[in-house]
Every structure is written in structure tokens, then in C-alpha cells.
Amino acid sequence: MKALVKDKAEPGLRLMDVPEPEVGPGDVLIKVLRTGICGTDLHIHAWDGWAQQAIRTPLVLGHEFVGEVVDTGRDVTDINLGDRVSGEGHLVCGKCRNCLAGRRHLCRATVGLGVGRDGAFAEYVVLLATNVWVHRVPVDLDVAAIFDPFGNAVHTALSFPLVGEDVLITGAGPIGLMAAAVARHAGARNVVITDVSEERLDLARKVGVSLALNVRDARISDGQRALGLREGFDVGLEMSGRAEALQDMIANMTHGGRIAMLGLPAQEFPVDWARIVTSMITLKGIYGREMFETWYAMSVLLEGGLDLAPVITGRYGYRDFETAFADAASGRGGKVILDWTA
């Protein structure tokens, strides 16, 4: 089968023929229809410092996908041939304290699909049945392909109650945009989003934010004034991983404000801890999705009319992966999809 492979410890990817994966007793074999390109895939493509220490070659990339079940192992009972499925890309150990308690998203020995083992940028992927999410309600294929990052957005956005609250989101990449749509849908009063790309801020306006602020030429405090906020933001969702974004967020929170952080900083940086203490701010780190509570929430949010269409801006056949990766890495658009049937 064709697969997108990091075959050597150097920048770039190769589209090559690899053996089809074997199906174990608890596994599901999935014919991949569409995949989403994630920031993680860009790091692996570029072979940056993180990739060099995290990845062992050869590796089939990819963890955001939708596909169709074409085979199941003998122990799989509740998943059927022809089911349309996505997959939870965090494979958990099942043995640690959190796994045993049912808090699988807090597993301390997680292996990532397309990071620690072969992934979904291929014509077929095999996954443990316990990690397969069956789309019981029809979902647009492009949206189904990005359930993994959509789950990051939902997990982050629904970490704290949003109804009637003023929400600040730093970073209008695909996950920031989806979080903005969720916050809107969930009943936030104001949703303010920041970025440095006018294209991404335009996409944010399409998902219905109150204010999309370019922090190259405006300050978050200007945004607060424009919306008539007197006491600061109630909830912050940090999606950029950038020091100045978190520092600025902390400076603009109300007393008792709550911050959920999904953006992954590349290095350590100073934080005004005195402000955290005296403003009594809560900081929560987010990684992945709750299994499978977040997946349930995603499905019902879409059923309830949440619209993610503006977030998907690039569609390519898998043979055009170089163009697709360049599009995703540009920092200007939304989500980029690879079609594995074209």
C-alpha cells in the first residue's frame, strides 16, 4: 500500500510502498478515506529538534483520519465492516493508576499514533478496537477526518463553564478557530481571538467571534475596551504556545479567571506568578481528548448545528502531499485535508 513515510533521519517525507498492516485479535483494519495534517506532522516533516528526539525512523505519519472498516479481529464484537470511523490517536497503557480508574486521557505511558507507532497517512491503518470511534450519525467526511484536533478544541473549550462568560482565545490556527466556534455555540457572551495572520482572523470572523484582534498592531486591553469589558476575561484558552500570548492573557484575566492551555511552548519562559496568586487564577494543561467523553461531546455538538466548514481551507490528493504540507505550514489558512481515494 502507499504510505507517507519518514524513512530517514533528515527533513522531508517519502510517498512509498509499505506492507499492509496485520490485524491482531483486538484490532480493526481501516481503509483510510481522508486525513488531516497536524502541527505534529509538520514538525516531523521539518525534522526539528522535537522530532529528532521523539521519532524513530522509519515511521508512517498521521493521526487525524476518517476511514471505513474493512476487517476486524476475532475479539472485536461491536464494530462492523463498512462502519465509518475515526480514531483516538493516544494509545494508553491500561495499567497505570489513571487508566485503571477510567481516566485514560491522564495515562502516563501514552503512545501516539503516527508518532510512537505507524500512523494513518496510508491507504490502510490498523487500530485497537478500544481506540476506534464509530460515527453513528452521518458526519461530513472532511469534518470526520479532523475529529482528533476538533477533540483538542472541545476538550480545551469545555474545560470550564462558558455560559455568559467573556472568553479570550490566543491563536487562531485550526484548533483555536474550532474552540472559538465551540465557545460561541456553548453560550459564551463574548469570544475574542488573537493572531498575527489577517487570513486566520478573517476565518475567525466566519465562525462568529465577537472580535478578531491582530496583536501585531493592537493590544488585548484595546479589545477589552472596544467590547466594554470592565473587569477582564473570565476564561482564557491558550492555543499558540507563545510566551507573549500567555503573558498577555494572564495580564488581561479577571480575578478568579480560568485558563486552559493547549498550545505547546517550545521553551521555558517567565510568567508573572504574583499575578496568578493575587488574581487567584486557575491554570490547567490540556493534552489530547477525554476518552470518550470528548468524542461524545463532538458528535452531539455537530448534531446540534455547530458548523466547522469555515475551518477547512485546503484539500489535496495524497500524491500532492508536498503542496499540502507547505499550505499547512504557511500559518495563514485553516485545516488542510489529504484525500487518500483520489
- What's the min distance (Å) between Cβ of 275 and Zn ion? 35
* Residue 45 marked as a ligand binder: no
> Could you tell me which of 71, 91, 94 has the C-alpha nearest to residue 83?
71
Q: From 84-92, 126-134, 165-173, 298-306, give the range in contact with Zn ion by CB under 5 A.
A: 84-92
- What's the min distance (Å) between Cβ of 108 and Zn ion? 6
Nearest CB to Zn ion, comparing residues 107 and 215: 107
**Residue entry with cell 491500561:** 94
Cα–Cα distance for residue pair 157/155, rounded to 1 Å: 6
Cα–Cα distance for residue pair 241/114, rounded to 1 Å: 22
**Residue entry with cell 495515562:** 107
- What's the min distance (Å) between Cβ of 104 and Zn ion? 7
Residue from 37, 38, 92, 122 in contact with Zn ion (CB under 5 A): 92
Query: Per rule CB under 5 A, is residue 106 in the interface with Zn ion?
Result: no
C-alpha triplet 38, 289, 57: angle, nearest 5°: 45
* Residue 264 marked as a ligand binder: yes
Nearest CB to Zn ion, comparing residues 129 and 203: 129
**Residue entry with cell 480493526:** 28
Nearest CB to Zn ion, comparing residues 92 and 191: 92
C-alpha cell at 223: 479589545
Nearest CB to Zn ion, comparing residues 290 and 327: 290
* Residue 107 marked as a ligand binder: yes
Residue from 59, 107, 113, 260 in contact with Zn ion (CB under 5 A): 107
* Residue 68 marked as a ligand binder: no
The contact pattern for Zn ion, residues 153-182, with x = CB under 5 A and - = no contact, is ------------------------------
Contact 88, 289 (CB under 8 A): yes
Query: Per rule CB under 5 A, is residue 99 in the interface with Zn ion?
Result: yes
Q: Which amino acid is at 296?
A: Y
Residue from 96, 134, 141, 326 in contact with Zn ion (CB under 5 A): 96
- What's the min distance (Å) between Cβ of 271 and Zn ion? 29
Number of residues that bind Zn ion (CB under 5 A): 5
Q: From 86-94, 155-163, 278-286, 309-317, give the range in contact with Zn ion by CB under 5 A.
A: 86-94
Nearest CB to Zn ion, comparing residues 16 and 109: 109
Query: Per rule CB under 5 A, is residue 93 in the interface with Zn ion?
Result: yes
Q: Which amino acid is at 53?
A: Q
| Other beta carbons less than 10 A from residue 64's beta carbon | 30
Pairing of strands 211-214, 190-195: parallel
Cα–Cα distance for residue pair 167/189, rounded to 1 Å: 8
* Residue 63 marked as a ligand binder: yes
Q: Which residue is nearest to Zn ion (CB)?
A: 107
Around 169, how many Cα atoms within 13 Å sit in the side-chain half-sphere?
A: 34
Q: What are the φ and ψ backbone dihedral angles of 156, each rounded to 5 degrees?
A: -70, -50
Cα–Cα distance for residue pair 75/91, rounded to 1 Å: 18
Active site residues: 40, 43
- What's the min distance (Å) between Cβ of 273 and Zn ion? 31
Nearest CB to Zn ion, comparing residues 44 and 113: 113
Strands (E), the chain: 2-6, 14-17, 27-36, 59-60, 64-72, 84-87, 90-91, 111-112, 124-128, 132-134, 166-170, 190-195, 211-214, 233-238, 253-261, 282-285, 312-317, 335-339
* Residue 187 marked as a ligand binder: no
Cα–Cα distance for residue pair 200/4, rounded to 1 Å: 28
* Binding positions: 38, 63-64, 93, 96, 99, 107, 175, 195, 200, 262-264, 286-287
* Binding positions for NAD(+): 175, 195, 200, 262-264, 286-287
Residues near Zn ion (CB under 5 A) are: 92-93, 96, 99, 107
* Binding positions for Zn(2+): 38, 63-64, 93, 96, 99, 107
